[in-house]
Amino acid sequence: MINSTLRRELGVVLLTAIGIGAMVGSGIYTTPGLIASVSGPLSVLAIVLISVITAILMYILAELGKIYPRAGGIYYFSKEVLGDLSGFITGLSYYFCCFIGTAAIIYSFLLYLSYYIPGIAVGLTLTPLGIAIAIAILAIVTIINVIGIKYGAGLNLILTLVRMAPLLAFIVIGFSKINTNNFQPLAPYGFGSIGLAIAFGFWMFVGFESLVLVSEEVKQPEKVIMKSAIATVVIVSAIYILLISAFIGAVNWEGLGIAEKDWKSLGTLSSPLADVSRALGVMGLAEVMVLGAVIASAGCFSDWVLLQGRVAYALSRENRLWKPLAYVHPRFGTPSNALIFSSILTAIIMILIPSFPNVILISMITEFIPYGISALSFAVLRRVPRLMLLGYIGFVISTLYIYWACWPWTLTGVIIAMASLILYSALVKSATYLSELKKNAWYIAYLIGLTLISLLGDRTFEYNNFLPVSPLNVFPMPYDAITVIVFSTAIFAWAYKTQKQFFKLDAVQLHPM
């Protein structure tokens, strides 16, 4: 058990606000048009399925968070259950997701802000002025989070409440203007299109794991984490399902200047909620949507600045990152060095890559690898058949999503994860390294196999390919999904058989921390 010097100051309300705040960001304002463009009215069913998937993964993470209530929880879940190397690959992969994803969120914030402040962005590229403003805002938010988590969480609570208002307004007005004819036919591009809709739609839900990243600062984590998890999933899922339904039904084709039922053209809308609002002719609603997007992006990156510091802190106090990052400020009780260091990395990403729409897919893949490994950890830890089944389902779902995230971003994300093997060799003795490699051979096979299946899979799952090689279509739909399920099942069985030999269940039962 780790003697934490972090302060337990988060109750149900503030923790739920962190969960909702990490999920409700720029995604809900930008992706409805993209989702509708690939699946039409079937988008509503896609959001329902994503809600179910999120509930499964959230339950798994909340249960693990109750057992291991530590900062940077996702790293500890795999480390404690699957071993040091598994934990390191998972934790480092997730850390990359954090500081790269935070840069993407701040980038989105500046693009929306350019609606009010011309000159900070040209097209999809930030100007030097835009980068300077982004770094200044990042510095302010970082300082607030260094001063204390209750202040960072309090800021997020205010921003969460404010950002929900525009979404609720759109839902009410959208349903009052609904055109039921828009829901026919239900699947204009076939029911197979739901896979791509889920791949794009999950960007709106990412962030639910935030509840366990700060679990070491939660009051009574064995009770509060699960309560906040349930509240977060129910609130966000209900709002998203209603909003996508209102969006699909409220599309005014003539007002948008688009041919009726030309769903693909909705993918070209840069601000779909604002554009649909403007086409409805409702005075001021479009401006409210733009303002809501700015506030949502600001609140979301505030949340992620708070969270990414906890992941760096967790890795460093286990001697898996620069040791000074494990420092806890004696006055504020926060991992101040980790927060500042992580924000510096985010700033570097923004300076080097001022235009990076594809970075979203990289961050998503490096996020779903930890989701899947956490589900596997849950199955190894909880050897009750029904809970093992839940862990298996979570692992398969995560693997499917990594495949759906499209070539060549599967390759890019896997390369980032595999790079941790090189770094790990510099951190441990050679004998330990070889032992961990043997124990985690299934993990390496999993990463390599995912890349191969993506290359051999359906050409539908290719997006902004910068490589000369495209998917080979050896496994067209639905055989690609079947292949992924069979592959993930084999890896799950291999990993479970290997890891249960090393993991002592009795130790967890005697020492639940």
Q: What is the pLDDT of residue 502?
A: 67
Residue 407 has φ and ψ, to the nearest 5°, of -75, 140
Give the HSE-up count for residue 89: Cα atoms under 13 Å, Cβ half-sphere: 30
d(CA 342, CA 326): 12
| Three-point CA angle 482, 376, 89, nearest 5° | 105
For residue 455, the model assigns a pLDDT of 97
pLDDT value at residue 467: 93
Domains and CATH numbers, the chain: 12-507 (1.20.1740.10)
- Structure pTM? 0.86
Q: How far apart are CA 96 and CA 93, in angstroms?
A: 5
Please check whether residue 368 is in contact with residue 360, taking contact to mean a CB–CB distance below 8 angstroms: no
Burial class (CB in 10 A: 0-12, 13-18, 19+), 419: middle
Q: Does residue 192 contact residue 478 with C-beta atoms inside 8 Å? A: yes
Nearest CA to 304 out of 339, 350, 344 is that of 339
Q: For 319, list phi and psi in degrees, rounded to 5.
A: 60, 35
8 A C-beta contact, residue 388 and residue 401? no
The encoded tokens of residue 77 equal 């879940």
426 phi and psi angles, rounded to 5 deg: -85, -10
Tens-level pLDDT at each residue, the chain (513 residues):
444 566 777 889 888 888 888 888 877 887 899 899 989 999 999 999 999 999 999 999 999 998 888 877 889 899 989 989 999 999 999 999 899 888 888 877 787 777 778 888 776 578 899 899 989 999 998 998 898 766 666 666 777 778 889 999 999 999 999 999 999 999 999 988 888 788 788 888 988 888 888 888 888 888 899 999 999 999 999 999 999 999 999 999 999 999 999 999 998 787 789 889 999 988 789 889 988 888 888 777 777 898 898 889 989 999 999 999 999 888 888 899 999 999 999 999 888 776 545 666 777 788 889 999 999 999 999 888 999 999 999 999 999 989 988 899 899 889 988 999 889 998 888 888 999 998 999 999 999 999 999 999 999 888 778 899 999 999 998 899 999 999 999 999 999 988 776 655 434 443 443
Q: Are 21 and 159 in contact (CB under 8 A)?
A: yes
Scanning the structure block, which residue is given the tokens 């005697």? 510
Max Cα separation, the chain? 69
Angle at 155 (CA atoms; ends 153, 161), nearest 5 degrees: 100
Dist. CA 324–CA 317, nearest whole Å: 8
Of residues 43, 384, 477, the one with CA closest to residue 246 = 43
The pLDDT value given to residue 112: 72
